[in-house]
Structures are given as structure tokens and as C-alpha cells.
With several copies, the nearest count.
Chain A
Amino acid sequence: MSDLMQTFPVKRIIEHGPGVKSFYFDRMTDAVAGQFVNVWLPGIDEKPYSVSALGEDWLEISVKAYGVFSGAMMKLKVGDLVGIRGPFGKGFTFRDNALIIGGGIGIAPLRILARELSERNFRFVSLLGAATAHEVIFVDDFRRRSSNCYVTTDDGTLGKKGLVTDDLLEIIKKEKIEFVYAAGPEIMFVKIKELIDPLGIAYEFCLERYMKCGIGICGQCTLDGSGIRLCVEGPVLNQDDLKAVTELGLPHRDASGRRV
């Protein structure tokens, strides 16, 4: 694989529930947890998606329907051709005694992380939250691999009713957590940061921004304060990277570059 555009047929689709699907392709690339690929739907657009799992001969991405593009993804059928280039970006580092926090479709890059951690025999605990049960994708997988797996849903259809951040501090204490991984909506990062910065625990967040090139030249995904390019130096940033970032939780730039 490479930065050059190539197309691949969809090999298999899993529907987790309304508006949440995983797509499988022949494995066209290596990738580490946190890295993403650019997905091109001809005639529609091209957007970044985390690699959510890798098998011997397959690659998985997991998508939640939000707008035009992810909506179009939902209509893909097995055999349809999709452009894929990458992998791009820098992934997670591997730590022992970590807590993995996933919010909604942010669970995607954590699925491959969980596998990489357990392959290294690292102990970790999972804390997954989403709007509703079927959005906690691959929850069995996390249950199997984690030494403990906490789940919350907004509607209480799975696990505890509430947000992932509700019992965060207690879980950290109880599970003797030394490191935090998180991926999900930006507001979740803001909340987590508020809660754990005082504890001095190190962490890595997998962020999202509107992206164009994926190769570090357009400047679309740079973060105010640090000038870091999320597509190259991210999307995984640690507490040090985030120190200089002044825009966490604030409006992001759209395709024009305006903050909206």
C-alpha cells in the first residue's frame, strides 16, 4: 500500500445495528492501532477512517452514519469498489495497566489496540460508552481481552446508563490504572483531561479533524497552538502534545479552513 490511490472491493460487511457497520477488505497494508486510511467513494468524497482491525488477510474499518459520506458508506454492498490509501499518521504506544476509553464510533481504533496490547500480554481495562447498545461495537471482543470491561450507554440498553466519564475516577483507582487511552467525541477528551490531569496520569487520545490531504501538506488538520498536523504527527496525541494545543473542545475548521 501507499499514498497512491488504489481501489479494492468490499469483501464482507457486518451490520452492528442501524447506522453502524464494519467493512472488510483484502489486507492491502500493515497498520498499527491509531493509524487511519483515506477512503474514497468515487463521485462522492474521500474521508479518513481508523483501521479498526487487521487479520492475516483482511483489514477492517468501522463506520457510524452521520452525514453525506458515512451515509453513502452505509449503502456499500459486497463487491463495490472503494479507494483506499494509507496508512497515515502515528499510532498508539503500548503500555501496561492501561485503561481504554472509547466513546461511540471512537471504539474503532481501540479494537485493534486491544488486540495489540493483549498480544503483548499487557494488562488493560476497557471502558466503553455509546448512545445505545449496538453502537458499543465488538463489545465481546473487549470483554474477552480486557481484565475488566465497563460499559455505559446513554439509554441504558447495555451496561450502566450514563456517560463513560461518570465513574472514571473510581475505575482508575480501583483498577490501579497507570495509563489512559481514549478515542471518541472531542467533548469526551475535554472531560477526561479535566478529570485525570490532576492525577498526573499519562495518556494518549486519538483525535479527529477535517482532513484533506492526509499527507501533511494542506494544513487543514493542524492544531492551533502547536501547529501539529493531526494527519502526520497525530491522530494519536499524548498529554505533552496536547499541552500546547489551544483548541481542544473548541469549534474545528471546516473544508474552507474556517472554525465552525
Chain B
Amino acid sequence: MSQVKFLNLKLKNPTVLASGILGLTASSMKRVVEFGGAGAVTTKSFNIEWRKGHKNPSILPFRHGLLNAVGLSNPGIDEMVKEIRLFRRQCDAPIFASVFGRTIDEFAEVTRLTVEAEPDLIEVNISCPNVHSEFGQPFGNSCEDTAKITEIVKKNAGDIPVSIKLGPHGPGVARLARVCEEHGADAITAINTVGPGMLIDIEVRKPILSNKTGGVSGPAILPIAVKSVYEVYKAVNIPIIGTGGVTVPEDAVQMILAGATLIGIGTGVYYQGIDVFKKIEQGVREYLDRHGFKSIEEIRGGAHE
């Protein structure tokens, strides 16, 4: 009863490893599926060239979530294509390749090269809030850039479906989602981290993250993620990977009621362990049972009625 259809895919359950979490290697993602219970996995966002990212501290727990400025560190497309292929050989669960570019052309290029690895979905990260200083505002803060990137990625993705990953900022997530749908996106991933934020150590009197600022994830952002998914669901007809602050089954149910088809989980791994996927899948199943629902579809978007 946890089975879920998403585009042309069938997932054992609606949980997906979010991008940036344990998504660097085939072995790591395989463990997230086999031991952790994820229905699908998303790779760390990658680009043509490898990037070192920011120095540590780059990931910082605070009382209500995490602050991170990893700086889109990644081993580059060649390495990632290898890992995606390896994963596909060893594991049944769908794998979503998360890509980013520093220019619109780079989005095209990285998509073209990623297609060779035959991921089940290409997730396009246009909303990372940590890269301002280097790239200016995220592309996802502009409707025009979002339209252009969606179009060009779709053109290069061939048969592979494309999800655009949006943040809660900019001109409004619902408006952006509509732009994505109009330009051919097959799905929306919402949301990326919130903020960014900063924490200052009051003894050394300096920002703690090496990048000074970082995106907020985890429990603190759940309401903003639920609201984003709710608005996107009203705005478009394509499915949504609802992501942000999900750590317990009740959070996932909120996401589904808001309209999510899949549930992205990142920081939940920190709060609940790697088997957070399994725990959430079980909890959602128990919720459906208790209320006499036969499938997740029956409650999807239920908060809109």
C-alpha cells in the first residue's frame, strides 16, 4: 500500500533521499535504499567540473535544524556518471541525478552528459542559496532564467523526465512552478533550503560557517515547505517531490495532504538515522490503515478540499 507511481516510475514507497545527503557514491546510496528503506535516491548536485566547495565548518547543527554551505562541492560529471551507472547495476530503486550549472549553457551541457548515465529523472537545482557570491542570485529567483533553463534541459534530456528544484524565495514558488510546467518540466521538487542564515560564535565573535552564511534545513523549515508544496499543487498539474523538514511520519502526511507525490528527506537522516525512510514509510502506512485508506493517492492534496 506504500507503493507509489511517479511519472513513468513505480517506487516501493514515496520516500526519496534528497540531494546533497549521502548522494556522492553508489555504495552510499545503495545503503540508503537497502538499509535505510528509501523508495528512490537523489545524487548530490553535480556539474561538469569538480568543485571543492567551501571549507569547514560547512554543515552546522543548530537547535532547530541545520545550516549548510557545502558550496556545491562535487566530484564532477565523469565520476558521478560512473557512480550512477554503478548504482543502477546494483540496485532496483530509481535514481535521480541532480545537476546544476554556472551558466544556462552549462545546464544544457551537464544534462546532455548526464543522459548517458540513464538516471530515472534529472533534477535541476536552480535554487541553491549558498552560491550567491560566486554566481549572483540563484537562477531560480528569476522567472526568465527558470523558463530558459527548463526549456534547455528538457531539450537535452531526451526521454528522461525532468524535475525542477525550486526554493521558497524569489517571485513565489507557485509562479515559478507554473513557469516550469509551461516550459515542459515533468515534475517540481520543492523546496531547497531556506534563508540563508548565519550563526555567530559569541566567544570568538565570528560567523561559524566558513562561507559565513548557509541554507537552513530540517524541522525549522517544515511549515515553509508544506506551504510551498500546497501552493505548487494548486498551481500546476505535474507531480511534486515535497522536500523540507520532514523527520517523522506525521510530517510526511502533511506533505502528502498538501499535494506531494514523493517525500524528499535530507536532514531527517541526521535526526532519525539512515533508516528514517523506513520509519516514515511505516508510519505513513499505519496512518493510512488507521483511517481506512487503501493508498496514498486517496489522501494526496486532501488539505485542499
Direct contact of A and B (CB under 8 A): yes
Interface, chain A (partner B; CB < 8 A): 2-5, 7, 38, 40, 42-47, 81, 83, 212-213, 215-220, 222-229, 232, 253-259
Quick check: B74 and A212 within 8 Å, CB to CB?
no
Quick check: A83 and B204 within 8 Å, CB to CB?
yes
B98 to chain A: closest CB distance in Å? 13
Instruction: Give the residues in chain B near A217, CB-CB below 8 Å.
Output: 21-22, 59, 66, 266-267, 269-270
A212-B70, A215-B270, A216-B269 known; A229 and B52 CB under 8 Å?
A: no
B side interface size, CB within 8 A: 47
B79 at interface by CB-CB < 8 Å: yes
Question: Roughly how many angstroms separate A220 CA and B199 CA in the complex, as a whole number?
Answer: 23
Q: Among residues 251 to 266 in chain B, which have CB atoms less than 8 Å away from a CB atom of chain A? A: 266
Instruction: Give the residues in chain A near B58, CB-CB below 8 Å.
Output: 212-213, 218
Partner of A257, one of B27, B30, B79, B270: B79
List the 6 closest pairs (A to B, CB-CB), nearest first: A227-B31, A46-B56, A257-B75, A222-B28, A227-B27, A219-B22
| A-contact bits for B73-98, CB 8 A (1 contact / 0 none) | 11110010000000000000000000
Quick check: A212 and B270 within 8 Å, CB to CB?
no
A222-B28, A227-B28, A257-B79 known; A40 and B56 CB under 8 Å?
A: yes
B225 at interface by CB-CB < 8 Å: no
Partner of B208, one of A3, A5, A81, A228: A5
Instruction: Give the residues in chain B near A229, CB-CB below 8 Å.
Output: 22, 28, 274
A64 to chain B: closest CB distance in Å? 19
Quick check: B23 and A219 within 8 Å, CB to CB?
yes
Partner of A213, one of B25, B59, B74: B59
Quick check: B24 and A257 within 8 Å, CB to CB?
yes
Quick check: B30 and A227 within 8 Å, CB to CB?
yes
A7 to chain B: closest CB distance in Å? 4
Q: Which of B50, B56, B61, B269 has the most CB of A within 10 A?
A: B56
Quick check: A83 and B201 within 8 Å, CB to CB?
yes
Partner of A212, one of B26, B59, B75, B269: B59
Quick check: A7 and B25 within 8 Å, CB to CB?
no
A-B residue pairs in contact (CB < 8 Å), sample of 27? A5-B199, A46-B55, A46-B56, A46-B57, A46-B210, A83-B204, A83-B208, A212-B56, A212-B58, A212-B70, A212-B73, A217-B267, A218-B24, A218-B58, A219-B22, A222-B24, A225-B27, A226-B31, A227-B29, A232-B274, A254-B52, A256-B52, A257-B75, A257-B79, A258-B76, A259-B75, A259-B79
